[in-house]
Structure 1
Amino acid sequence: MKDWIGLVARLVTGVVWIVAGALKLPDPTESVRAVRAYDLLPEAVVPTVGHLLPVLEVAVGLLLVLGVLTRAAAVVSSLLFVAFIVGIASAWARGLQIDCGCFGGGGFDADATSKYPWEIARDVGLLALSAWLVVRPRSRWALDPVLFGSSADPSGADTDERNPHVEEHA
């Protein structure tokens, strides 16, 4: 059962990352505007973060959907969700009225205050799925066992868990 939960966690989180990143890739200036609107980073790094974030989101999403380097991708995913939750909460606390920029957009949004709780709740849910994969990266239909062997955890962590889907031959 836990392998199926892992599959759902991988696919839901991975697809969200792919969609979020892919929607921002065609117009990187929009992503830069969204990063700038939070007013949290030094201006010197805002363009770099704005341009690289969509690429990172798509890459993490693909790794999760395919089940490649699952624990490492889930760690990055978790860190990104923590950063986004902090960013949205900070904007809310400072009275900023900005579009989160999560799926494109960014900048002023007159209805932002009413959206912040739902955006934080969504990101907390996705953080929980990512955290599940950090703790338990094995799941159905993942490529990690194919690429790294059924007994190896590609993250480098030793595990005593046995893969129930691989028969042992004497």
Structure 2
Amino acid sequence: MSTIEMTDEARRPAAGTGPTSTTAPSFLSGPRARVGLDLISFLARFGMAGIWLWAGFSKLGNEMGVAQSVLAYEMFTPEVANFIALVLPPLEIAAGLMLLLGIFLRPTGKITAFVLGLFTIGLIQAWVRGLAINCGCFTVNINDTGDHMTYFWAVLRDLGFLALSLWTAYRPFRKWALHP
């Protein structure tokens, strides 16, 4: 072998390590794709911030209504429902503020995804058991039996929120973030 042949051979990447194995698919690369992905990240972060703030502020100061909504799921004792009613609104507001201000975006995305997963499981078990409830997600009305709530759409909505939270955990929008 000549020196030139060895050099050419040395320049060849090993199997599975060439450019095709390390580059993103063409539809996910390039400046246009980056703008699209940034837009999704922007909408996920700030959209979920607004949703968490709306959910938290709508429940704040109405612990009795929140506790009754939680009890309607028939999963918790009254003591646990009262505890949830006290801590849930401030935690939802904190999650919304953390997303809005850009504080620990990945962990916040993971935690909110986990919480949304729990909410979705709660909705599904109530649906399967045939409970007529008001989910208590954005409004709390103790006189509302939830007859108008369509479980399918509520679960679909929560799965959409879950996807946005996972997107924030996977690819957070870091612009204007205080502590990404």
Q: Distance in 1 between matches of 2:85 and 2:178?
A: 30
Query: Which residues of 2 match residues 148-163 of structure 1 at below 5 A?
Result: none
Contact 1:14 1:64 in 2 (8 A): yes
Contact 1:30 1:104 in 2 (8 A): no
Q: Distance in 1 between matches of 2:124 and 2:108?
A: 24
Partner of 1:110: 147
Q: Distance in 1 between matches of 2:159 and 2:82?
A: 26
Partner of 1:101: 136
* Deviation of the 1:62 alpha carbon: 0.6
2:175 to 140, 144, 151: 140
Question: Kindly, what percent of the aligned residue pairs are identical?
Answer: 36
- Determine whether 1:10 maps to 2:10: no
Query: Which residues of 2 match residues 81-100 of structure 1 at below 5 A?
Result: 81-100=116-135
Q: Distance in 2 between matches of 1:119 and 1:70?
A: 25
Amino acid in the other structure paired with 1:88: L
Q: Distance in 2 between matches of 1:105 and 1:44?
A: 19
1:45 to 80, 90, 97: 80
Contact 1:100 1:106 in 2 (8 A): no
- Determine whether 1:31 maps to 2:66: yes
Q: Distance in 1 between matches of 2:169 and 2:103?
A: 13
State TM-score, norm by structure 1.
0.78
Amino acid in the other structure paired with 2:147: A
State TM-score, norm by structure 2.
0.74
* Deviation of the 1:110 alpha carbon: 2.1
Mean alpha-carbon deviation: is it higher for 116-125 or for 102-111? 102-111
Assess, with a 3 A threshold, how the Cα gap between structure 1 residues 34 and 57 changes in structure 2: closer, same or farther. same
Count of aligned positions: 143
Instruction: After the TM superposition, list the runs of 4 or more consecutive aligned residues in structure 1 that deviate by more than 6 angstroms.
Output: none
Partner of 2:14: none
2:160 to 125, 129, 135: 125
* Deviation of the 1:5 alpha carbon: 2.1
Assess, with a 3 A threshold, how the Cα gap between structure 1 residues 111 and 94 changes in structure 2: closer, same or farther. same
Q: Distance in 2 between matches of 1:120 and 1:100?
A: 10
Q: Which runs of 5+ in 2 are unaligned?
A: 1-34
Rg (Cα) greater in structure: 2
**Deviation digits for residues 41-79 of structure 1, max 9, x if unmatched?**
233311101111111101001101111111111112101
* Deviation of the 1:37 alpha carbon: 0.7
- Determine whether 1:71 maps to 2:71: no
* Deviation of the 1:106 alpha carbon: 5.4
SS in structure 2 at match of 1:40? coil
**RMSD of the TM alignment (CA)?**
1.5
Contact 2:49 2:99 in 1 (8 A): yes
